[in-house]
Each structure stands twice: as structure tokens, then as C-alpha cells.
Chains A and B, each alone.
Chain A
Amino acid sequence: MIDVTRARELAAAAVKGALAAGAEQSEALLVASDSALTRFAGNRIHQNVASEDTELQVRAVIGTKVGVASTNRTDEAGIVACCEAAVEAAHHAPADPSFPGLPGPRPVLEADRTSPATLAFGAEARAAAAAAMIEASSRDGGIAAGGVACHRDVTAIANSLGVDVAMPRTTVRATVLSTSAAGGTGWASFAGRDASALDAVALGERAADTARRSSNAIELPPGDYTVLLAPEAVAEIALFIGWYGCSAKSVEEGRSFMSGRIGERVTSPRVTIVDDALADDAVGLSFDYEGQPKQRVALIENGVAVGPVTDSYWAALTGRQNTGHALPAPNAQGPLPLDVKMAAGDAEVADMIASVERGIYVTRFHYVNIEDPTRVTLTGMTRDGTFLIEDGRLTTPVKDFRFTQPALEALDTTLAVSKHRELVGEEGGALVPYLLLEKFAFTGTKG
């Protein structure tokens, strides 16, 4: 895979190429990637893949007409063809009077977010990690499924106004679903930059332990319950709030919970959600796909809707500051938060459980989707470790529920937030705590 220097050279060549082809302004986004994934199921590795690619995207501007072209042919002829295609697309585009022009250079944090351990984590190491995770389940007659994924990339962005930024990154993610001999299921996952932080044995044990405790689940009737949501479940809620409600585009169009409600209380004061790609533990890029510095943005602060993220287009259109949250152009989503974090609270998880007289512990959700964007009404299933809490203790495993719940209304009933947080997913994931919610609507059972 090409290095940072070569990525910058290719991006710069594309910027010049588009100008030579007739663009008045030009921008190039170059992403070179090398990915590998070892998947296992039924206690054996059944899929094991690797791929490398280099993708170049060119944005050409003529007046306020904009065209985009992309290619993975990055030799000289390929770059020239891509630049010409972008310029041709711009010629066919009607003028957009709202287009503010490409953004100029601003200082960015150009951190090296690679890990030597992840770079060295090859097929043999992934197989060994898979074997360790399987062992925790198989020794008691259980079955494990999951995967170990390693990814490295270099992102370089340049434009004709002087933007020239680049960043190399690595990520690693491991997951394990354990099914006990008695049919209970348990889940554990790890995500981060550094493969040396992956404790495959512990991950496998955690999933297998939950699976053993999940066996012989009882069925409870649907209804409103107090719930303790583990980070995997909390992340789903935080991400849907971010995706559907925290873009300047959706706010401007009236499709967001924030539309007309900025400055109002939308959740319990115990809830703070930010987007922060600058934190030491961030895995995402510190700049957006226009090469602009990402700002730390408070989305919901102490329960109050603060504001959405922007990019250069939506910042100009709505009179807001550019927070540096552009996606690759063109995109229908508008700017999006990709490094969502929910603030930690002051509660110990054990104390949160101990405070519940009767409620449900949820390890994670499955297949969540949105029914109403302005209320962020979500539906989905519980999965892989759902327990009844009685008199302050996890007692009986419970058959999985379907929930149908406006997310903000649920967060408005937040009773406690844990000190402990976990990163769920990679870029596009979320760093979130456990949440204790007084009221959560389970509307069906698995059948």
C-alpha cells in the first residue's frame, strides 16, 4: 500500500490535472486501504479475506457548477481521465447559487493514528485470536462465531486553494457470539487502533459466560420496563440520534428533532452527547473530507439541544460555523457526526444494577431502524444477553423483546449514567456508557 507521501503526491497531481482540464477550482480525495478479516462460525474459520485498493475522487468547480468523478486507476492516464470526467460532469451541472466555493486551508491536527501492532497483525495472528475466542465456548460444548478485522488506510485531501492534509490510521475490531450447549447466547466485542490491546481470551470468556447465563430464558410480557442498557445498546441510540438529528441539513429541512428546538431541553440533564474526533482515544480522521479541521461539537449538552454539525456548504447556507463534518462529495446526507461520544456519569455499573427493583438488562440490540425521525422513534430487538433484574440483582435470562421507543423520550427518563465507557464500532461508532432508563417500551417478543 502507498505511504502518506505518495498519497499526497497523487492528490496534488489530481488537483493540478483538474485545473488543466478546465476546472476553476479543484479538490482531490485519495484513500489507499489495506483490509483483512478472519471470520469464524461453528468453531472454525469459514471466511478469511484480504483486499487492497486505492481510490481517487476529484471534485471540479466551474463557477458554481460542481462535478465529481472517482477511479481506482491511479496511474497518470487514470488520473487524467478522472479529472476530465469531473470537469465534464461540472459542465453538465446547472449552476447552484448557494455553492460557496471550496474551502481554504485551515490548521488541522495531522496525527499518526497507526499502531505497529495492528500493522503486524497478519493472518496467523488473526487465526490465533479466533482460536482463543472459540476455545472459551467450545470447551463446554458451545459454539462461537465472530471475526477479527484489521484495517489500515491513508487519507490525503488537497485542493486548489491550498488545502493539503493527510493521515494514516489503523483500526482493529474483534467480535464473538457464543452459543451455549443449552442454547443461550452471549456477545462481546473490541474496537480500537491497537491490536496489542486485544485480549482475545478475555473477550471469548466474556461472551461464553453470558451465553451460559442466558440459557433457559423465560418469556415476559411486552410492556414498559426500567432498563439497564449496556454500551452496545446505548451506541445504537446515540448513533441514530447523530445520523438523523444532528446534521445541519436535516435540521434546516425540518426533519430533525432539533428543528426549531435548539436551546430547548430534549432529554434528561444527565445526557450529554458530543462529536469529538480530536480526543486522544479517537479512531476517526481529525479532518473532514474537505480537509477542514473537525471541531468538538456538543450536540446535546446536559439535556439541551445545542446544535448540529456542518460542512462548508451547509455552514454557508445556514450561517453557522463550519465544524468540519463533510462527507465525500456529493452526498445526500449532508454533514454527519462520525465520532459520537456520550459523556460518562458518576455511577458504578454494579450500583446501577443494585438500584433496580425490577427491570431488564440489555446487552445489545439487533437490526434497529427508525420509524419517525423527528421523535427518533426506533424499533429493533434485544439480543445475546437479556436478563431480568430483581431486587438489585441479575436473576433470570429473558427471551428477547422487540422495542418500539422514541429515543429522546427514553433518554428523558435517564436515572443514572456509568463512569465506565466503551468504544463500540470503529469510525462511525460511538464511545458510550451504560445507561439506566426508568421507562422503555417493549412491544413484542421473539415468538
Chain B
Amino acid sequence: MREFLADVLDAASRAGATYADVRVTDTTTQSLSVRNGTLEGISTGSSIGFGVRVIADGAWGFAASCDLSRDSAERTARQAVAIARASARVAARPVELSPLPPQRGRWSGPCAIDPFSVSASDKVAVLLAADGAMRDIEGVTLTTGELSFMKCAKTFASTEGAYLEQDWVESSGGIVAYAIAEGEVEHRSYPNSHGGAAFQGGWETIKALDLVGNATRIAEEAVALLSAPYCPAGITTVILDATQLALQVHESVGHPTELDRVLGDEAAFAGTSWVAASDLGTLRYGSDAVTISADATVTGSLGSFGWDDEGVPARRENIVTNGILTSFLSGRESAAAIGRESSGAMRADGWSKIPLVRMTTVSLEPGNAGALADLIADTDDGIYMSTNDSWSIDDKRLNFQFACEIAWEIKDGKLGRMLRHPDYTGISPAFWAGCDAVCSEGEWVVTGLGNCGKGEPMQIAHVAHGAAPARFRDVRVGVAR
């Protein structure tokens, strides 16, 4: 491997690159899904290839191939340099990278039980047991369940002298119960929607979910939703659970503080940001209760690694501190553009893609509001919403609208009636300014999201968000009804 990477870098340099890095990524996957008591699919996959990124004539070029032969190393490196020279025809200024001492080392993610050593039959058995428990509940008309596993080995080298080896395992799983009647579709997911919970780790993380033990509860909730009243329309106090907060943080803090978006590089696709680079240190992003960290060192989180895909070491810092913007997610180029160091957040979706500024574990830090029960008891009137169902936010990440799977009204400090089709909308800084309480560390959990889309060609990043339930005042709810 070391020789192949050296060949690629040598070829790039000989072709005229002033900087080059190369990543070889070898990924193995397995997924299983069930539906209404039947295995819907079982599949395995493997993909290996390399991508070489160069600066030539002051501009970027990138080429990638699944062919790991010596000929391909030469051809692909030369192609990357030729592409860079074409880029240079339409370049405003030469690319500059923030400084980075040469990095060398090895990093492995946590994994107690290799999921690829566990029999597929055992995995199917877990899914079918949970599926059966859901279907035992009268009124449930459709059930689904899925498990997915990935192991990845990645080697990175650069003309600056970096040589880094990383490997990790990811596991995810979840179940969904549907109750469908008379044109109404209600559903409940466990432990989260959109594929379930996702971790860095092995089979032990799936066992800990206890899918079977939670199947009956969510099935009963799905059926109950069919006869629950709709979420009323109005302005009220909202408490969000940790999984919904994960997506709220993701969309309205994580993406708008990606420095490439702030600088306009994603303008034509995902958009820009309401935050400006000059806002650093002064912008009030939210209330004093709001501190948001970005941490690539959280054990077991999808947002963790040893080094990012530019070879920058993993780090932790606060993006928002007591409501004030204090940092950006960035890479070597975007950070250099505003005179800072990279925050180590450049990540690529496999060997065929370039690294972009992505989230790591971007978290709402715990507060001092105690347990969820304490926060509800402290709330006279409002709505508690759980489990994301849909999301939408504008191109500057200001106006958002989220729907959740389920909600309960809060009256006089107690949970009341179940509510169906809850949704809420707001404007990011006003919403975060309305955050007056965040539950304490005991309620804080990390939620992995394996479906963060960004860039062209579209890249899917695996990121994560820690949060404890939090309360927001003066929120508009019940938009869609």
C-alpha cells in the first residue's frame, strides 16, 4: 500500500503538482431488512479505490479510480493535474492551505464484537422477533426493520509527508410500526427514524438497543396516534427530545457554521449561510443556555476519527459558547481564507469523492434543567415532541420547518393527551434565542445520522449530534393542518 501511495504522489509531482494527497478506501457493507414478517433483503457489498487531489498552477484537480494498478496510479494522477490546469483557467487566486505539520499514525474505532463475524441468520432472527412483536398489536398494518453494518479501512498520504492509517466499524438498526386506516398513515420508529440508531461500534451496539423489548410500545403508540387529536395550530412552548434536537442542531447550527458554505462555495446547491465570517466572536446565535460543541473525539460516535481527510488531527471546540458564535467547522483552504487554522472537519464520502467541510459530533451541550421529568414539571403549558419525521430549511439556514412522529401536550407540568402530526417552524436565531432550558448531563445522548447530504456530486456523510431535551419559548406549531 505504501508503495502504491508513493507512486501516485510521485506521478502527481512529476506531472506538475505543487501539492498532492491520495486516499485509498476499502469498504465492506452488509444490510438486512424485514417487512411484515418477511425478509425483504439481505445484501453485502465491497468497494475499493483511490482518489488523488492535487494543486497545480494554483488550482485544484481531483481524479479517482477503482483500478489500483501501477498504470492507473500514473494515469489517474496525471488526469488530476490536467484537471487542475483546466481549473486554473478560471481561478481568482492561488489556493492556499493553512499550515499543518506532517502527520503519521494509526487510529481505530471501537468495536467489541465484529458484526461481520455474527451470523446473518442471527441478525435476521433479531429483526423478525421485533417485527413479530409489533405485528402482535391489533391495528398495526405494516412493520419494517433494518440492520446495516460497515467496516472501512482508509490510508492517506500527502506530498507534505503525511501517512495515516485508520479503520473503524459502524452499526445501525431500527424498527418501524405503521397503523394505516382510512387514508391516514401513522408510524412510530425505535430507536430513531430514518434507519434507526447508528454508532461506531460492533454488534454490541445493536444488542444494547433491545429492538425486541421496545417493539410493543412503539406499535401501541402508532395505533394510538390514529385516534389522537391533531397538533393544534398556534404559538406555544415546545420541549424537543434528544433525537429531534439532533436534527435541529444539524440543520440550523451545523450546516450554517460550515465555513465553505459561509464563504459561498455551496451557493448553487445546498446554499450559503445567514452567518458571515466576520460574525466570529460577536454574533449572538442563541440564548446563554446554548453552547454548541464540535468534537471529533467522542468514542462511539459516527462523527469521530483520528484525522480528517486532509490529515488534520481530530479536535474538540465550541462553535457557540453561551449563545455567542466562537468558531466554524472548516478545512485547510477555508480556514486559511479567514486567517485561521483548520478545525479538522474535511470528510469525503468514500474513495471517489473529494473531502468537504462536514460535521463531526456537533452537540448542544447539557444544561442544568435536570431530568426530562423535571423540565416537563417546570412547564405550565406546551407541547413535547419526539422523533423526527421530516425536515426542511432555506438556503441560508434561517427558516426551518420540522415534523415529528409524535407529541404530547403539557398542562400544568404534566404530560397530557397524545397529539398526531406535530410540526413546528421558526427562524434559526430567534428559535435559539428562545431556548431557556436544557436538561442535565444524565439526559444527554449522542444520535448518529447516516444521511447528511451535501455537495455535488452528492456526498453522504455519517455525522452525529449530542443533545439533552431542551425547551423553547414562543414556537409556531401545527403548520400543516
Interface residues of A (CB under 8 A from B): 35-55, 66-73, 82, 85-86, 88-90, 92-94, 96, 98, 122-124, 126-128, 130-131, 134, 143, 145-147, 149, 175-177, 179, 253-255, 259-260, 329-332, 366-374, 377, 379-381, 383, 400, 402, 404, 443-447
Contacts and interface: CB of A to CB of B under 8 A. Distances in A.
Interface string B16-42: 000000000000000001010011111
A366 B392 CA distance: 8
Given A45-B91, A50-B63, A367-B393, A329 B430 contact: no
Contacts of A369: 390-392
B33 A332 contact: yes
Interface stretch (B76-84, B132-140, B321-329): B76-84
Contacts of B42: 66-68, 89-90, 92-93, 330
Interface stretch (B179-187, B203-211, B286-294): B179-187
Interface stretch (B1-9, B260-268, B297-305, B410-418): B260-268
A332 B83 CA distance: 38
Contact of B267 (A38, A177, A368): A177
With a 10 A CB-CB cut-off, give which of B46, B120, B268, B398 has the most chain A CB atoms.
B268
Contacts of B392: 367-369, 379-381, 402
B90 A254 contact: no
Contacts of A71: 45-47
Interface residues of B, number: 83
Given A44-B92, A52-B65, A383-B394, 19 more contacts: A38-B86, A39-B456, A41-B267, A42-B264, A45-B87, A45-B90, A48-B61, A50-B83, A53-B49, A73-B48, A86-B44, A92-B120, A93-B42, A94-B124, A131-B90, A145-B265, A175-B268, A330-B41, A444-B479
With a 10 A CB-CB cut-off, give which of A46, A72, A377, A445 has the most chain B CB atoms.
A46
Interface stretch (B141-149, B151-159, B359-367): B141-149
A48 B87 contact: yes
Contact of A94 (B39, B61, B427): B39
Contact of B180 (A72, A89, A255, A372): A255
Contacts of A45: 59-60, 86-87, 89-91
B457 A44 contact: no
Given A69-B45, A92-B124, A371-B390, A379 B90 contact: no
B456 A70 contact: no
Contacts of A55: 47
B48 A72 contact: yes
A402 B456 contact: no
A260 B390 contact: no
A93 B183 contact: no
14 contacts: A36-B83, A44-B93, A47-B265, A47-B354, A48-B61, A68-B43, A70-B44, A71-B47, A90-B42, A92-B121, A254-B180, A370-B390, A446-B398, A446-B399
Given A41-B264, A46-B60, A447-B430, A374 B185 contact: yes
Contacts of B91: 44-45
A143 B264 contact: yes
B61 A70 contact: no
Contacts of B456: 37, 39, 147, 149
A53 B66 contact: yes
A404 B44 contact: no
Interface in B244-273: 263-269, 271
A332 B46 CA distance: 20
Q: State the 9 A-B residue pairs at the shortest beta-carbon distance, nearest first.
A: A330-B41, A447-B427, A92-B120, A123-B86, A68-B43, A44-B92, A51-B64, A145-B268, A254-B180
B166 interface: no
B40 to A, nearest CB: 6
Nearest to A250: B185
Contact of A67 (B33, B35, B43, B80): B43
Contacts of A123: 61, 82-83, 86-87
Contacts of B90: 40, 43-45, 127, 130-131, 134
Contacts of A444: 399, 401, 425, 479
Contact of B79 (A50, A93, A377): A50
Contacts of A446: 394, 396, 398-399
B216 interface: no
Interface in B358-388: none
Contacts of A37: 456-457
Nearest to A55: B47
A176 B91 CA distance: 17
A92 B264 contact: no
Nearest to A405: B480
B87 A127 contact: yes
A29 B391 CA distance: 34
Contacts of B181: 254
A51 B353 CA distance: 8
User: At the interface, is chain A mostly helix, strand, loop or mixed?
Assistant: strand
A73 B395 CA distance: 39
B447 interface: no
Contact of B38 (A96, A128, A332): A96
Contacts of B60: 45-48
B180 A367 contact: no
Contacts of B33: 330, 332
A49 to B, nearest CB: 4
A145 B267 contact: yes
A255 B185 contact: yes
Given A379-B390, A402-B425, A73 B46 contact: yes
With a 10 A CB-CB cut-off, give which of B121, B142, B352, B423 has the most chain A CB atoms.
B352
B461 to A, nearest CB: 16
B119 interface: yes
Given A37-B457, A44-B92, A373-B185, A94 B128 contact: yes
Contacts of B142: 253-255
B310 interface: no
Contacts of B80: 50
B403 interface: yes
Nearest to A42: B264
A444 B47 CA distance: 44
Contact of B480 (A44, A130, A371): A371
A6 B64 CA distance: 21
B397 to A, nearest CB: 10
B462 interface: no
B44 A126 contact: no
Interface in B458-473: none
A100 to B, nearest CB: 14
Contacts of B266: 41
Contact of A146 (B48, B64, B268): B268
Nearest to B263: A42
B421 interface: yes
Interface string B110-135: 00000000011100100010000000
A98 B38 contact: yes
B408 interface: no
B199 interface: no
A259 B183 contact: yes
A435 B421 CA distance: 29
B389 interface: yes
A88 to B, nearest CB: 8
A341 B142 CA distance: 31
B352 A53 contact: yes
A328 to B, nearest CB: 10
Contacts of B307: none
B268 A366 contact: no
Contacts of A374: 183-185
Interface string B415-457: 0000001010101001000000000000000000000000011
A87 to B, nearest CB: 11
Contacts of B263: 42
